[in-house]
Chains A and B, each alone.
Chain A
Amino acid sequence: MNKDSPHNPTVWNLIFASWVIAMLSTLASLFFSEIMELVPCILCWYQRIFIFPLSIILILGLFPLDTNVIKYALPLSIIGLLFTLYHCMLFYGFIPENLQPCSQGVPCSGDNMILFGILPIPVLSLLAFLSITTLLLFARGNRNEKV
């Protein structure tokens, strides 16, 4: 039985999809900071730390397919997910003001976090980390199945 089947299209597609999301998030976050010149808050920085490497290591695991990449990528996406959860709770006021670490400099909550009046950046980040983590977990579950 070929444990690390190099021809497993499901696993390949799942990792590919999570790479696309990681890449889109990386570009979006660079767009916010470099083009729109929004200054990233501290929590945003921690999320950037965990999304940027994902856009690089995930694609390295695709050629040739190396399912070990799931093992390396999952901790990054899960830690990133924890940061976005914290950030969203802060943003929607579930965590009181005096607990937030961003009182100096750029605030982690506030109007500058909302794009075009409707899209809050922490929610975009939550969706990204949540979908990457889910896709990678599925890929992990499919890893050992022979196709």
Chain B
Amino acid sequence: MKKSNLVLIASGLMLIIFIAAAYFYDSQQTKLKNEQLAQNSSALIQFHSPKTGNPKAKVTIVEFMDPACEACRQFHPFVKDLLKKYKNKVKLVIRYAPFHHGSDVAVKILEAAKKQGQFWDVLDVMYKSQSDWANHHNPNPEMIWNYLEYYKFDVLALKANMDDAVATKIIGIDLADAKALGVDKTPTFFVNGKPLTSFSLEQLETLIRSEIALHY
């Protein structure tokens, strides 16, 4: 056999094995993920989870998020627009997945804000100031307070409403649910329990539309 042919055949074989293995692995993973999801569908929503939108809406978006995650911040305005656009038909449930260092403190502040009915406003402030307090080399969630003060929130009331034990328990439940559902990245979206297969704004809207078409 000519030497150049030998190398060509070897390269071709290795490439084919690589692609076949990738394809096989992917389809196995999808199958496993769907099975895992079917078994753990009760882990999608908890009573304590912050919700917005019409409570009777038949399409439910569940978002596993981290206040320190850039992609979550970028998605957030778009998700809000979708809630407005498909008003009354869509509701949003937030689940915590504080994977970043220090974001558990941010979640505890959010929990205090939830008690005062200010969850969404405080979340907006956190996203707005994210690049400052969630710096990857030096995360400093205590800086959130400065921003809350700047935007005229009642910091004293928020601090009084902080309940470390309860918030820690909620974070524990949400992280356990995230694990059970195979959530390892943020944001992770489920629409009526169906996972977003490819991660993009368009895909999320397509999935929401198809669920609206199914239920209305």
Contacts and interface: CB of A to CB of B under 8 A. Distances in A.
Given A23-B14, A31-B18, A62 B7 contact: yes
Nearest to B10: A20
B21 interface: yes
A99 interface: no
A118 interface: no
Contacts of A30: 18
Contacts of B7: 16, 19, 59, 62-63
A36 interface: yes
Interface string B1-40: 0011011001100100110011001100000000000000
Contact of A31 (B4, B10, B11, B21): B21
Contacts, number: 30
A24 B21 CA distance: 13
Nearest to B18: A27
Contacts of B17: 27
Contacts of B21: 31, 35
A35 B10 contact: no
A50 interface: no
Interface in A12-44: 12, 16, 19-20, 23-24, 27, 30-31, 35-36
Contact of A23 (B11, B22, B25): B11
A57 B3 CA distance: 17
A30 B3 CA distance: 27
Nearest to A12: B3
A62 B3 contact: yes
Given A23-B14, A31-B18, A16 B25 contact: no
A60 to B, nearest CB: 11
B14 A27 contact: yes
B11 A16 contact: no
A31 B22 contact: yes
Nearest to A24: B14
5 contacts: A31-B18, A59-B7, A62-B7, A63-B3, A63-B4
Given A23-B11, A36-B25, 12 more contacts: A16-B3, A24-B14, A27-B17, A27-B18, A31-B18, A31-B22, A35-B22, A62-B3, A62-B7, A63-B3, A63-B4, A63-B7
Q: Which 9 A-B pairs have the closest CB atoms?
A: A35-B22, A27-B18, A35-B25, A23-B14, A20-B10, A27-B14, A24-B14, A31-B21, A31-B18
Interface of B: 3-4, 6-7, 10-11, 14, 17-18, 21-22, 25-26
